[in-house]
Amino acid sequence: MTIKQVVRMPIILLSILFLILVSCEETDTDIPIGEDWFNLDTKVYFTDSMTVNVSTFKFDSIIVSNTDRLLVGAYDDLILGHTKSKTYAQLGLYEFDIDDEAVYDSIALILNYDNYFYNDTIPTQNLSVYEVIEDIKYIDDDEDFFYNTNTFAIDETSIGTKSFIAKPKKDDSLHVTLNNTFGKRLFDKIIDNDINNSDEFLDEHKGLLIEPDDSNTAVLGFLKTSFLRIYYTIEDESDNVEGTLDIAFNSTNSFHNITPSGDSNQETSIPSTVLNNTSVIQSGTGLSTRIDIPNVEGVYDIPGTGTIVEAYLKLSLKENSSTDLLHTRDSLNVYIIDNKGDVVSTLTDYSGETALGIIESTSDEFNEITYSIPVAYFLDLKLTEINGDELYLAIYSQDFNQSVDRYILNGEDADTSLKAKLELTYAIYDE
Amino acid sequence: MNKPHLYTLILFVIFTSQLIAQTNNALSSSPYSLYGLGSTNDISTGTINGLGGFGYAVSSNKFINGYNPASFGSILSNSFLLDFGFKAQTNILKDGSDSSSNIIANFSNFALAFPLTKKSGFGVTLTPYTSVGYEVNNIVSNIEGSNDVFYTNIEGFGGISDLKLNYGYKLTDKIRLGLTTSVLFGQINQTETNILPTTFLTIEEESNYSGFRLGFGLQYDILKNTSFGATLNLPTSLSGDKTWILNDDVTTEYTDDISDFKLPLEIGAGFQTHFKKYFSLNFDYKKSFWNNTNQSDNLGNYIDQDFYGLGLQYAADKTRDGHFFKNLEYRAGFNYNNGNLEISNQRIDNYSLNLGIGIPLKRNRTNSMLNVGYSYGTKGQVNNGLIKENYHLLSINLSLEDIWFQKRKFQ
């Protein structure tokens, strides 16, 4: 055997042996002990003292097209004052063949209840119906929206009034009898073939305004399947046949006008410190709570390089402000807005999922309700965006364009443990 | 290039890539490897592992002695040396009330050496310089500003590799001088999982270090049977950068330079003497001047460290027809160092007992040998909340010699 062979053999054998050994390597390095003397580099800080400025502002107008319901009603609130919603409805007639022998009986507005209502339905509610005398159409030709502030001219003479006890849960609909002058006029034009198509109908009848009395105590939701019904009779030699003609709401061109309260506007917000340490939210009228976190950069004062681990904005309802009548919901919508109050985006978490304010804790006994809003993504945005210091949060109610729910929130200086605050967890990983 | 050398080259590539790849796995299983760059590698080439861990005065005429570059001046003409190392270690950890154990096995070194001229030799060694492997669970820390706590699990792995280029020159028959250049490089990884009351924060840290180091060696044969050896390793700094990868709701990456890790001036010296024909004794001392690096870890300071090594070998003449056990080499050693880290005013010292056997691989004129070493050691202590770590360490070194440039007709 040559030396070369001698050397070659063990190398080949050994390389196999080594590769086997290395690939069989076992590493079981779990050391359950020794944590006592280990000094961790990572430091975690918690603070709830970062400045939060809570204020109230009002969107100049909100889009009320394509809502699921139409709101009619009014209520008074000690804090917000008077809120009123009236509904403009355009109608459409698509059936024009009525027996020439038909005789007009009566006319009624059938309002189908939606299951939404707000405040007190026990007292008697009143509403009046008027004829609109101008075309119900988008005010701005460039936009396909109705706003909560849009109004249309009406004939000041009411064509019907109704006093009633609202039973939106029990009843399917509200029946409002309108006056026969109005009903007979429409009926005759149809019978006389003055109205042969929907355009001719709209020329004759532009629409209805359904307006509550200011003294009403509730806002009621009605479906867009509501309609106008004409009752007539066809006289026969042996028997009289009764018939109806339904004139439906045009769901696109029917909307509610909600009269706002308060004197804030979109670009001027009222600090909670001058509003009895509260801020408000009211859907329908555009009232929102604005949150400014002006000193996020303060986290950089902690020495070292770190990261926001968690950040929750805690907003509590003013004690006893949420009642059975003036009820609140389990979650709040949150948007990111700029310094003009324009919406930049919805608030999301890091994965792009919409983030809501969710009820974190409630105490029924003390009527304590706190919403928790995850804002870590928003704070990172403020720290990284060029105009980050001009970003704010706007807190809305759910159903922002089709309800009139109101929330009274504690401000940052409220004299309670339930004041508005930011709970921030920050970790330093590189000292 | 003839075939065996081609194999050698292929193996070098395989083992080099293995070693570098292994730095991504745990090469250590010591909680003390948390500190600094990890646990310093205590495994060497050839017979050294059975002789107290050092051999400043030992020549490289039979195997590669990576401890002193001057020894490369003593490589025999036409000799080509190779060394593959493997280690297996089991640790038993105690911290007073609890104990646990683990096992780890891995490749530990590759080395080759050959003469350049009749008076000089060159060699390359690739060894782990440090290795990191730990897992510490349930560290409880306060969340500052609240009454809550968070729990942390930490896992670390990786290490620094040391690629040494050694040059030895035989000044006279008695004096050899050496120069060594170390290329130090590697990555240390740590994964930290922080469990907060309502969320998690995972921090992965990748620290890359690299640097060069120069060293000098001297060997002097004082008497016919007694040699003196000394080395000087210059202080150096390993520069590094660190990447943090944070995972909570989102993954963030952040890279920053980190402060250099300073390696101290190291001076080592030792004697080796042969007596009663078959016996040799070596005594070695090394001092690492950590004080001058002014470094501290997050819990302890780095302080000057003393190493002592003592080794005894019995190696009878090898005979072609001799009894198997008569042809073996027998070694015993002792090693002590007082540690370079002081935690809670306690030094993490380390001592170990070594036993070794050298098994000649072939009955021929080469010095190829399988060296098996066993060490039992202890590190730290149970007092003051520290951990005491007892370990059994098995090392296997395949030290091969090939004879180059020898014509077949002479065999």
Smallest Cα distance from B136 to chain A, Å = 6
Enter the ipTM.
0.74
Specify whether the CB–CB gap between A205 and A131 falls below 8 A: yes
Q: Is the pLDDT of residue B141 over 70?
A: yes
Rounded to whole angstroms, the Cα distance separating A115 from A131 reads 27
pLDDT for residue B61: 83
Residue in B15, B343, B403 closest to A3 by CB: B403
pLDDT for residue B272: 94
- State both tokens at A69: 């319901």
Residue in A31, A46, A429 closest to B146 by CB: A46
- State both tokens at A380: 């990172």
Specify whether the CB–CB gap between A210 and A86 falls below 8 A: yes
Its pTM stands at 0.78
Helices B3-22, A3-23: inter-axial angle, 10-degree rounding = 20
Residue in A10, A28, A37 closest to B343 by CB: A37
The string of pLDDT tens digits covering residues B66-99 is: 899 999 999 888 888 888 888 888 888 776 666 7
Nearest 5°: phi and psi at B228?
-120, 140
Going by C-alpha positions, the residue among B95, B88, B105 that lies closest to residue B137 is B95
Residue in A3, A35, A47 closest to B402 by CB: A3
The string of pLDDT tens digits covering residues B285-306 is: 999 999 998 888 766 788 999 9
Smallest Cα distance from B211 to chain A, Å = 23
- Non-local (6+) Cβ contacts of B374 within 8 A are B354, B355, B356, B392, B393, B394, B395
Q: What is the DSSP letter of A132?
A: B
Nearest 5°: phi and psi at A304?
110, 175
Residue identified by tokens 């922002």 is A400
Rounded to whole angstroms, the Cα distance separating B346 from B300 reads 9
Task: Tell me the chain A residues in contact with residue B382 when contact means C-beta distances shorter than 8 Å.
Answer: none
CB pairs under 8 A between A and B: 193
- State both tokens at B102: 């683990």
- State both tokens at A396: 């809305």
Rounded to whole angstroms, the Cα distance separating B289 from B125 reads 24
Is A23 near chain B, with CB under 8 Å?
A: no
Residue identified by tokens 């300071």 is B301
Query: Please, how many CA atoms are within 13 Å of residue B376, restricted to the half-sphere of its CB?
Result: 2
- State both tokens at A162: 């109704």
- Using DSSP, state whether B382 is helix, strand or coil: coil
Tens-level pLDDT at each residue, chain A (431 residues): 344 443 444 555 555 555 554 444 444 444 444 555 566 778 999 999 999 999 999 888 889 998 999 999 999 988 888 999 999 999 998 877 788 888 999 999 999 999 899 999 999 999 999 999 999 999 888 888 999 989 999 999 999 999 999 999 999 999 999 999 999 999 999 888 888 888 899 999 999 999 999 999 999 999 999 999 999 998 877 788 888 999 999 999 999 999 875 555 677 788 999 889 999 999 999 899 999 999 999 888 888 888 899 999 999 999 888 888 888 889 999 999 999 889 999 999 888 899 999 998 777 777 789 999 999 999 999 999 988 999 999 999 999 999 999 999 999 998 888 999 999 999 998 87
Overall residue count recorded for chain A in this entry: 431
Task: Tell me the chain A residues in contact with residue B140 when contact means C-beta distances shorter than 8 Å.
Answer: 35
Query: Please, how many CA atoms are within 13 Å of residue A213, restricted to the half-sphere of its CB?
Result: 13
Is A2 near chain B, with CB under 8 Å?
A: yes
Rounded to whole angstroms, the Cα distance separating B51 from B311 reads 4
User: A85: part of which helix (H) or strand (E)?
Assistant: strand A81-92
Is B402 within 8 Å of A24 when comparing Cβ atoms? no
Mutant choice from B35, B84, B251 vs A, greatest count of A C-beta within 10 A: B84
Helices (H) and strands (E) counted in chain B, each on its own, are 1, 20
Which amino acid belongs to residue B268? G
Residue in B102, B150, B254 closest to A305 by CB: B254
Instruction: Report the chain B residue with the minimal C-alpha distance to residue A305.
Output: B254
